[in-house]
Amino acid sequence: MKRGVIVVAMLLGLALAQSQPQIVRWGEYTVRIESRSPTESLLRIIRADRTQVEIRGVRFETQLVELTGQEPRELWINENSGGTNCCTTAYFFTQERSFRNMLIYYGRSTGILELRDVNGDKIPEVIVGTDVFADFGGLPRAVYPRLTYLLGWDGVRYVDVTARYPTLGFSTLSFYRQSLESALKTGDGVGARSAALGYYARGLINGQAAEARDWISKNTPAEVRRWLFDLEGEVLRALYADLGCRLTVSYSKVLPPKPVCAN
Pick from 145, 81, 90: which is nearest to 112 by CA? 90
Distance, in Å, from the CA atom of 141 to the CA atom of 88, rounded to the nearest integer, reads 17
Q: What is the pLDDT of residues 1-49, one digit of tens each?
A: 455 544 444 444 444 445 689 999 999 999 999 999 988 999 999 999 9
Task: Confirm if 263 and 229 have CB atoms less than 8 A apart.
Answer: no
The pLDDT, as a whole number, for residue 86 is 74
Distance, in Å, from the CA atom of 211 to the CA atom of 140, rounded to the nearest integer, reads 27
The pLDDT, as a whole number, for residue 85 is 59
In eight-state DSSP terms, residue 163 is G
- 156 or 191: whose pLDDT is higher? 191
- Write the CA distances from 41 to 32, 61, 86, 217, 230, integer angstroms: 10, 11, 17, 51, 45
Question: How do strand 112-116 and strand 74-80 relate by DSSP bridges?
Answer: unpaired
Q: What is the pLDDT of residues 230-249, one digit of tens each?
A: 999 999 999 999 999 999 99
Q: What is the pLDDT of residues 48-60, one digit of tens each?
A: 999 999 999 999 9
Contacts of 132 (CB under 8 A, 6+ apart): 147, 238, 239, 242
Q: What is the pLDDT of residues 100-141, one digit of tens each?
A: 999 999 988 889 999 999 999 989 999 999 999 998 999 998
Give the pTM. Answer: 0.88
User: What integer is the mean pLDDT of 170-194?
Assistant: 92
In eight-state DSSP terms, residue 75 is E
Contacts of 232 (CB under 8 A, 6+ apart): none
